[in-house]
Each structure stands twice: as C-alpha cells, then as structure tokens.
Amino acid sequence: MAEDESSLVVLVVSFLLLLLASAYFSGSETGMMSLNRYRLKHLRRNHHPGATRASKLLEAPDKLIGVILIGNNFVNFLAASIATSIAVKVLGDPAPLATAIVLTLVVLIFGEVTPKTVAALHPETIAYPSSLLLILLLKVLYPVVWIINVVSNGLVRLLGFKSVGDDSQQQLTQQELRTVVYESSGRIPRRRHGMLLNILDLEKVRVDEIMVPKNDIIGVDIDNDLKDVLDQISSAHHTRIPVYKQHMDNLIGILHMRSTGKFLKMETLNKAAILQETTEVYYIPESTPLHTQLFNFQKKKLRMAIVVDEFGAIKGMVTLEDILEEIVGEFTTDLITNSKDIHIQEDGSFLIDGFATIRDINRSLSWELQASGAKTLNGLLMEILESIPDSLVGIRLDGYYAEIVQVKDNVIRTVRMRPIEEKSDLTDLLR
C-alpha cells in the first residue's frame, strides 16, 4: 500500500513537472516569435545578452521551431501517458474519453493558453531567459532537429514555398514605416513626430508644389536706372535676388547680398560691376521631388533654384528654406495671420488670393482640398469650371464653398471660401 502511494506521488510530481515543461516550450515559442524585430536589433547593437541569444536563434527559425516542437510534443505525450497511469491508479479503469477530455483541458489551460498569453503580452520577459535553455537543447538535439528540418523543408519546397525566410520580408515599406511613426506618436514629441512624417512625404511632393510663382518673384531689372537698381537692392528682404533684363524670362544671374558691399564702395559704380557679382542661374525641372532637390542643393552647395517647365519656360523659384519648411514647418507660429494670401473675415470665411497654392491653403487652414493637376486655387477653380468665370460665381468643393469675388486679366484674383457644415445649405452660405 505504501509503495502504491509513493509511486502515485512520483507520478503526480512527474506529471506536474512535465506540465511545467510544456508551459515553458509553449511560452518560449510565442515569446520568440512575438519579439519586436527592430527593438531586438537595437538591443543587440547595445550588446544586450538576451537579445543577442534570441537574435542568434531567430537567424534559423526552422531550427528554433523544430527544437521547441520536439520538446513540446515529447513532454505532452509523456504527460498523457503518466496522466493515464495516474487515472488507472486512482479510479481503477476509467473511461478513455473522460480521461482524454480532462487531460486536454488541463494541458490547454496550464500548458498552452496561459503561458502563450503571458508570452504574447510580455515577449521579452519570456524569450530572453528561455533562450539560454533553447540554445543548449538545440546543441544536444541538433541531429534530430537536422533530420526533421531536412524532411519538412523538402515538403515545403514541394508545395512551392521557400524553406528559408527571405530577409527582404523584414524590410519596411514607406507606408509601413509611416504607420510605425504614426503609431509611436505617444512616445515621440509632437514636433519631432510631425517632422518624421514630413520627411517621409518629401518623395510625394514636387518642387512646383512649393515654389514661389514667377509673378511673385522679387528681382532686379538691370535695365532700370542705376539709382532704382540700387534702391531695389538696398531694400531687398532676401539674401539672394534674381537679376533680369526687362522681364523675368530673361534671367541674367543671381545676386547675393554679401556681394553688394564690394560695388557699393566703388567711386564709379556702374551696372557692369553689379552684373560681375552675379552668379550663374541654377535651373531645375518642375517635376523634381523635394527629397531629390534637397540632396542636389547639398551636393552643389546652393540654396536657390529656378523652376522651369518641359519647354524651358520659367515657372517659379524654390529655395532650400522652402524645402526645410516642409520638414520642420513654417518659421512662424500663426500661419493664417502671417499669410499674405489668406485673410480671415469677421463672419468666419476667408478671402484667399487666387494664386495661393492648394498645399499652402491646406497647411494654413488644416483643410483637405483635393486637386488632380492644378497647383493654385485659381487653377483648381478653372479646372472645375472649364471656363473663365464671372465674379460672384459660387462653387461647392467636397465640403467647402468657394465664391469668386474678383476676376482680372482672365485670372481669378480673389476667392471667398469657408467649410460647409453638415447642417448648412447653399442658401445659408449665400446670405
């Protein structure tokens, strides 16, 4: 009788140990596979011992899964045999179905679901310590693991799949990286978070979307009187000024304000001395992406470029500051107040210059105006109307209402705009 009791105790203890081993293998599998690969690489570069071991194991995931499944299945089958022996000793000759149901519930709860749930919630806590035993087991069971992997990899290839993971699958696409940055907004300061998103958007924005239009470029006409030329130079608010002859399409060069000190000290100053200080104009195509132009500015050590279309005609000007503002934001805290193109009215509407770009309007007012090809508000309205409108024409644009206030020289000069609220109708907006 004493021997039966002692053997029963041994069987129960063995079963509990095997159940604990099953929980270890189940938790290890989920923990290893749930590790954040990019955090793992970061910790490995910082010589974290657990991360180093886990990274080594994950380099061969087929071997890792093999050793875990060998151990897990072995302890589960052995636990089932011992549980049957315990049931026979306690109950005599129990029903096989009842034993299987009870054993399944016990293994599922304590050996599978619970440890896997804990490992999924805290993968690093489970994976890093368990990697010590997994590396040892992989060395001991390597011949068995190798045979099993050879057979399983052969079957995988017969099914048309790659047996070894492709490293390229671990690389993030631009949209995936954007999602990662977006989801980590709680851990990154708001300004830096916005800068990261803006950097990712540089590839989608072209220079013609942020350029200063040709009509707004402030330059110096060298054909003017020398006194007028000097007055323009002395009153300039920019460090670089385009110099042209008669009209902007006939550009001669770019004058840097630091060069003005040389000829302003001359006793016999003339236009030739001014032209001698100008530098060659740097032209770029309108389709150049911002990230490319940023590198081109850096490579050429320049800060200003003239944007031209496919026919070589000047469309506008872009500077290094314009591109940097796309990353860090405008160098002002109140975009609406400081915008020369957008003026808020007492009734809550906005008077907007027709040459204001769609991108600037969206950025300043946090709107979402959509334009397929047009870059300016004038171009957008012309694109929709397909004609030159008269004043006081109203247009509804996907959640916004635009009233054309002024048309001059076949161009829409001023537009009154406001968002359309859900309960508002066109009659209310025209009052």
Q: Cα torsion for 42, 46, 47, 53, to the nearest 10°?
A: -10
Using CA atoms, how far apart are residues 33 and 27, in angstroms rounded to an integer? Answer: 10
**402, burial (CB in 10 Å: exposed 0-12, middle 13-18, buried 19+):** buried
Using CA atoms, how far apart are residues 315 and 130, in angstroms rounded to an integer? Answer: 64
Using CA atoms, how far apart are residues 228 and 232, in angstroms rounded to an integer? Answer: 6
pLDDT at 351: 92
CA angle 377, 219, 226 (to 5 degrees): 150
Q: Which of 203, 141, 161, 212 is nearest to 178 (CA)?
A: 203
Chain segment 42-57, per-residue pLDDT in tens: 898 888 999 999 999 8
Using CA atoms, how far apart are residues 321 and 330, in angstroms rounded to an integer? Answer: 10
pLDDT at 186: 67
- Predicted TM-score (pTM) above 0.85: no
Classified as helix, coil or strand, 50 is: helix
| Other beta carbons less than 10 A from residue 406's beta carbon | 15
pLDDT at 169: 54
Exposure of 349 in the CB half-sphere (CA atoms within 13 A): 19
pLDDT at 25: 92
Instruction: Please state the φ and ψ torsions of residue 145, each to the nearest 5 degrees.
Output: -60, -40
Looking at CATH, the fold of the domain delimited by 207-328 is given as CBS-domain (3.10.580)
pLDDT at 264: 64
Instruction: Please state the φ and ψ torsions of residue 351, each to the nearest 5 degrees.
Output: -90, 120
Would you state the structure tokens that stand for residue 315, as one six-digit string? 């469309």
Using CA atoms, how far apart are residues 146 and 161, in angstroms rounded to an integer? Answer: 19
Using CA atoms, how far apart are residues 58 and 84, in angstroms rounded to an integer? Answer: 37
> What is the β-pairing status of strands 314-319 and 212-213?
antiparallel
Looking at CATH, the fold of the domain delimited by 335-430 is given as 3.30.465
Buried-exposed string 263-276: b where 16+ CB fall within 10 A, e elsewhere: beeeeeeeeeebee
Chain segment 108-121, per-residue pLDDT in tens: 898 889 999 999 99
Q: Which residues of the chain have pLDDT under 50?
A: 166, 168, 333-337, 422-431
